[in-house]
């Protein structure tokens, strides 16, 4: 294998798979994709409801200890995918594009030419193979399969009905332009199987002669000659390897690791890097800053009868569902983990939804065990509803603590540190309760278990966030794109301070988008490929 390629892409997640697909379309261009993790051969990856067991697998998952608030000891666990497909090989499969205003804000207000809805709307349409078919705003025939949940249950039907009575339009397509509404989830599931970015974008082009994919290989550093990024240094087991880039190195290692690689390479907050003994190539204080995450609050209920799927996920029943899935790729195990989603305005004077809720016909044993990545379902019938402020202003950070690439990162979430986030945080809890307490749903509910009825006032709700909230796994922003000199990358995704180096994953998002992030990650990488090719 030659060790020099036109493009070296770091990470084969949502963004990396799209970039590999697009940049190898020109057969004269050679592309190397370097992925830290293994293939996606574990069968649980492909069974949509197999994901719980993936969250304890250290081979295919990265784990992080995250400080919830700067200066306070409380921590929580975050995780990310570490395999072909990246986090799209273990995520919750929900397909949401965000609101068009999210992107128009970037273009119109932040000056990021070419990053508005005109680009994203076009790309989403081209990307999609939507089960509901093409229309003015969605696509069919593209690489990303989007399906609508078929297995409906009584409780979820009632919750959708209650949402309607609370003023939410009911949808089948969860990505309507105006966004507000409630309905069953749309997901990246194709014929009962997870349709990850690896499936959608990489596998189909693996036979291209100009594409090389190496797995189980972790990039530890970018080598810079003068100001030009020329190669990546990697660890493959005990071996050290260097791959050179004739044209460019493109980081697609995600929000946690793209800033980590820049920092290890001497591009980051100069004072911190110097204190770790790392020679500073470019003092860029915002590398690792501006981390924005969706803070998810959970309300959990005990149901008045057997209206939950808890029982279906234990004992002989779960074995039966697994067996059925192996034979048919159908049944319960082919459903997305959550059932229903809604986009709501927590205050009526808002012009568009500020919160997303997601409902599952299951309940976790977190009342006893707290939040862990190793969640178990309750034995008794329960349901849970989670909700989050889609556009948080609070910002945290990701920073290396050592020049050793194996050392743990310091990650600080800083949830709710910006007072502007608090009104939505309170409003979303009140909305979730209104849904479950609606007369249409009430007969099916016995009691609220979490946070519990004693939590009533605004202050009590905010305090309850310390106990019953956790990450939405959508963190962005640690390599912020901007037209200002302080931003990490410019609007063409070029890393400031060096040449021949870009970042093209969701770490470049200047703000969060209104919903889950896999579709925006893929669309942004598609846009990145257009820019790299001169578009």
Instruction: Catalog residues that contact ligand FAD under the rule CB under 6 A.
Output: 10-16, 34-37, 79-82, 86-88, 90-94, 96, 218-219, 252-254, 257, 261, 473-474, 505-506, 516-519, 521
Contacts of residue 322, defined as CB under 8 A and 6 or more positions apart, other chains included, come to 47, 333
CB of 462 to ligand FAD, least distance (A): 25
CB of 58 to ligand FAD, least distance (A): 13
Query: What are the two backbone dihedrals, phi and then psi, of residue 158, each rounded to the nearest 5 degrees?
Result: -65, -40
Classify residue 114 by burial, with Cβ atoms within 10 Å: 0-12, 13-18, 19+.
Answer: middle
**Residue 294 catalytic?**
no
CB of 327 to ligand FAD, least distance (A): 26
Identity of the residue, 93 or 441, whose beta carbon is nearer to ligand FAD in the bound complex: 93
CA 184-186-189 angle, to 5 degrees, is 125
Identity of the residue, 230 or 503, whose beta carbon is nearer to ligand FAD in the bound complex: 503
**How many angstroms separate the Cα of 373 from the Cα of each of 75, 322, 470?**
13, 22, 10
CA 480-482-483 angle, to 5 degrees, is 160
With left for phi above 0 and alpha for psi between -120 and 50, is residue 71 left, alpha or beta?
left
Identity of the residue, 325 or 473, whose beta carbon is nearer to ligand FAD in the bound complex: 473
Identity of the residue, 36 or 461, whose beta carbon is nearer to ligand FAD in the bound complex: 36
The rounded distance, in Å, linking the Cα atoms of 330 and 360 is 19
Identity of the residue, 298 or 433, whose beta carbon is nearer to ligand FAD in the bound complex: 298
The β-bridge partners of 359 are 340, 385
The b/e string for 309-341 (b: 16+ C-beta within 10 A; e otherwise) is: bbbbbeeeebeebbeebeeebebbbbbbbbbbb
CB of 52 to ligand FAD, least distance (A): 10
Identity of the residue, 151 or 460, whose beta carbon is nearer to ligand FAD in the bound complex: 151
Structure tokens at 77: 């666990």
Q: Which of 46, 257, 294, 474 does the annotation list as catalytic?
A: 474
Identity of the residue, 125 or 194, whose beta carbon is nearer to ligand FAD in the bound complex: 194
CB of 515 to ligand FAD, least distance (A): 7
The rounded distance, in Å, linking the Cα atoms of 188 and 172 is 15
- Cβ atoms 407, 264 nearer than 8 A: no
- Cβ atoms 432, 385 nearer than 8 A: yes
Identity of the residue, 119 or 188, whose beta carbon is nearer to ligand FAD in the bound complex: 188
Say how many C-beta atoms besides its own lie within 10 A of residue 133's C-beta.
11
The rounded distance, in Å, linking the Cα atoms of 106 and 441 is 40
Residue spans of alpha helices (H) in 414-501: 422-436, 458-468
The rounded distance, in Å, linking the Cα atoms of 471 and 87 is 14
The separation between the first and the last C-alpha atoms of the chain, rounded to the nearest angstrom, is: 31
Identity of the residue, 158 or 260, whose beta carbon is nearer to ligand FAD in the bound complex: 260
The rounded distance, in Å, linking the Cα atoms of 215 and 244 is 17
Q: Starting at the edge strand that comes first in sequence, how are the strands of the sheet with 61-67 ordered?
A: 75-81, 61-67, 409-412, 397-400
CB of 521 to ligand FAD, least distance (A): 4
The β-bridge partners of 218 are 235
The β-bridge partners of 81 are 61
Residue spans of alpha helices (H) in 204-314: 254-264, 270-275
CB of 204 to ligand FAD, least distance (A): 18
Closest residue to ligand FAD, judged by C-beta, is 13
CB of 228 to ligand FAD, least distance (A): 21
Closest CA to 42 of 58, 56, 60: 60
Identity of the residue, 126 or 215, whose beta carbon is nearer to ligand FAD in the bound complex: 215
Helix or strand holding residue 324 (H, E): helix 315-328
Question: Active-site residues: which are they?
Answer: 474
């Amino acid at each position: 294998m030659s060790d020099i390629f036109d493009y070296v892409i770091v990470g084969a997640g949502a963004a990396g798979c799209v970039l590999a697909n697009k940049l190898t379309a020109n057969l004269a261009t050679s592309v190397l994709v370097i992925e830290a993790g293994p293939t996606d051969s574990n069968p649980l990856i492909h069974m949509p409801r197999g994901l719980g067991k993936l969250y304890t697998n250290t081979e295919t998952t990265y784990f992080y200890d995250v400080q919830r608030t700067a200066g306070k000891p409380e921590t929580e666990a975050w995780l990310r995918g570490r395999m072909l497909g990246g986090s799209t090989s273990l995520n919750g499969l929900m397909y949401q594009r965000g609101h068009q205003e999210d992107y128009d804000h970037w273009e119109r207000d932040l000056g990021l030419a070419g990053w508005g809805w005109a680009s994203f709307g076009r790309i989403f349409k081209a990307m999609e193979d939507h089960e509901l078919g093409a229309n003015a705003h969605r696509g069919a025939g593209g690489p990303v399969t989007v399906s609508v949940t078929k297995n409906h249950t009584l409780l979820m039907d009632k919750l959708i009905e209650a949402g309607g009575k609370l003023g939410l339009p009911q949808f089948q397509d969860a990505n309507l332009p105006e966004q507000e509404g409630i309905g069953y989830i749309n997901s990246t599931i194709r014929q009962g199987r997870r349709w990850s970015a690896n499936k959608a974008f990489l596998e189909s082009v693996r036979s291209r002669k100009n594409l090389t994919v190496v797995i189980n290989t972790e990039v530890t550093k970018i080598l810079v000659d003068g100001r030009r990024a020329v190669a990546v240094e990697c660890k493959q087991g005990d071996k050290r390897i260097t791959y050179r880039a004739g044209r460019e190195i493109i980081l697609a290692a995600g929000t946690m690791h793209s800033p980590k690689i820049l920092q290890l390479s001497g591009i980051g907050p100069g004072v911190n890097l110097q204190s770790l003994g790392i020679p500073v190539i470019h003092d860029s204080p915002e590398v690792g800053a501006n981390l924005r995450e969706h803070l998810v609050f959970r309300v959990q209920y005990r149901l008045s009868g057997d209206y939950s799927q808890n029982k279906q996920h234990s004992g002989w029943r779960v074995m039966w569902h697994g067996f059925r899935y192996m034979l048919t790729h159908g049944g319960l195990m082919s459903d997305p983990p959550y059932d229903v989603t809604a986009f709501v305005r927590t205050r009526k004077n808002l012009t568009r939804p500020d919160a997303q809720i997601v409902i599952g016909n299951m309940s976790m044993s977190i009342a006893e065990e707290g939040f862990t990545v190793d969640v178990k379902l309750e034995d008794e019938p329960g349901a849970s509803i989670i909700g989050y402020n889609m556009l948080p202003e609070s910002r945290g950070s990701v920073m290396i603590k050592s020049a050793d690439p194996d050392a743990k990162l310091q990650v600080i979430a800083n949830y709710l540190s910006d007072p502007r986030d608090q009104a939505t945080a309170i409003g979303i809890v009140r909305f979730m309760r209104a849904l479950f307490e609606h007369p249409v749903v009430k007969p099916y509910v016995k009691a609220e278990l979490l946070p519990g009825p004693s939590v009533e006032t605004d202050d009590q709700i905010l305090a309850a966030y310390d106990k019953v909230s956790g990450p939405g796994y959508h963190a962005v922003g640690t390599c912020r794109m901007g037209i200002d000199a302080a931003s990490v990358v410019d609007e063409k995704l070029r890393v400031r301070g060096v040449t021949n180096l870009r970042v093209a994953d969701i770490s470049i998002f200047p703000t969060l988008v209104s919903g889950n992030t896999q579709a925006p990650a893929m669309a942004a990488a598609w846009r990145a490929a257009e820019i790299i090719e001169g578009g």
